[in-house]
Amino acid sequence: MEDQNGKVYNYGANKLSFVRNELMYIEITEPSIALGPINGTTFKVGEKILVKTRKIPFGSKTKTIASRSFHGFTLSDKAGVSGGISYKTIAANYLKNDEGGLDMYIVLSFNDADQLISILVGG
């Protein structure tokens, strides 16, 4: 692999990096850019994790179970730092192309209030 110089464009506080006119990396830290499938549901920085509660029978009583989700991404509640950003919850996933191959990754970081604070996409 040869070294390639890329161009980084700033869109507000967001960064988009290109090499040979191909998008290689996106760092989104403000809600001016939304992501999602064409003609599908999009999401952006500032949105919150969806929490659904349901009651299930538990002996002679009921127990309340909470489930958390964010646009189908798998969430992990192990706090840490990614890309220099501290988070409480993270979703780290690979994105696939139509042929099923791995093209890029996406990392979603959430704060203590379950609010999306950072989106990193790279290849």
pLDDT tens-place string over residues 73-103: 999 998 999 878 899 999 988 877 677 665 7
Residue 108 falls within a domain, yes or no?
A: yes
Q: What is the DSSP letter of 38?
A: T
Structural domain boundaries, residue 53: 7-122
Residue 21 falls within a domain, yes or no?
A: yes
Distance CA 89, CA 79 (A): 6
Residue 1's pLDDT band, with cuts at 50, 70 and 90, is: very low
Residue 104 falls within a domain, yes or no?
A: yes
Q: What is the DSSP letter of 100?
A: S
Residue 91 falls within a domain, yes or no?
A: yes
- Mean pLDDT in residue range 8-30: 90
Residue 2 falls within a domain, yes or no?
A: no
Residue 1 falls within a domain, yes or no?
A: no
| Structural domain count of the chain | 1
Residue 95 falls within a domain, yes or no?
A: yes
Residue 115 falls within a domain, yes or no?
A: yes
The secondary structure of 69-123 as a DSSP string is EBTTB--B---EEETTEEESEEEEEEEE-TTS-EEEEEEEEE-TTSBEEEEEEE-
